């Protein structure tokens, strides 16, 4: 799976939680939660959705490493 496919999967997962998200408006290096206005419960649902979609365990200790879209894609790509 390449980074483009992972990015598309991350966006699709985000849209399940916040359907109003416009992919073109998401900056890869800006804080993701702020861009899509996710509270902590929504963020947990995103993490669970990513786990289900990609089959990759994301331990709570790693949540802080997933600040931007670029971070999330790199994290998942390294574990795919």
Tens digits of residue pLDDT in 11-57:
999 999 999 988 898 999 999 998 988 999 999 999 999 999 999 99
Query: What pLDDT, on a 0 to 100 scale, did the predictor assign at position 62?
Result: 96
List the domain boundaries for the chain: 3-79
Q: Give φ, ψ of 79 to 5 degrees.
A: -110, -5
Query: Please, what sign has the CA dihedral across residues 51, 12, 34, 69?
Result: positive
Yes or no: say if 16 and 49 are a contact pair by the CB < 8 Å rule: yes
Tens digits of residue pLDDT in 57-68:
999 999 999 999
Helix spans in the chain (H): 3-17, 32-36, 40-54, 69-79
pTM, 2 dp: 0.92
Q: What is the 3-state secondary structure (H, E, C) of 3-14?
A: HHHHHHHHHHHH
Tens digits of residue pLDDT in 2-21:
999 999 999 999 999 999 98
Query: What pLDDT, on a 0 to 100 scale, did the predictor assign at position 1?
Result: 84
Residue 61 structure tokens: 């200790």
Give the CATH fold of the 3-79 domain: 1.10.1200
């Amino acid at each position: 799976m390449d980074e483009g496919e992972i990015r598309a999967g991350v966006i699709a997962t985000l849209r399940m939680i916040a359907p109003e998200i416009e992919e073109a408006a998401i900056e890869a290096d800006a804080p993701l939660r702020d861009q899509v206005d996710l509270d902590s419960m929504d963020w947990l649902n995103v993490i669970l959705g990513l786990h289900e979609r990609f089959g990759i365990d994301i331990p709570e200790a790693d949540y802080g490493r997933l600040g931007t879209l670029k971070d999330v894609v790199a994290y998942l790509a390294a574990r795919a």
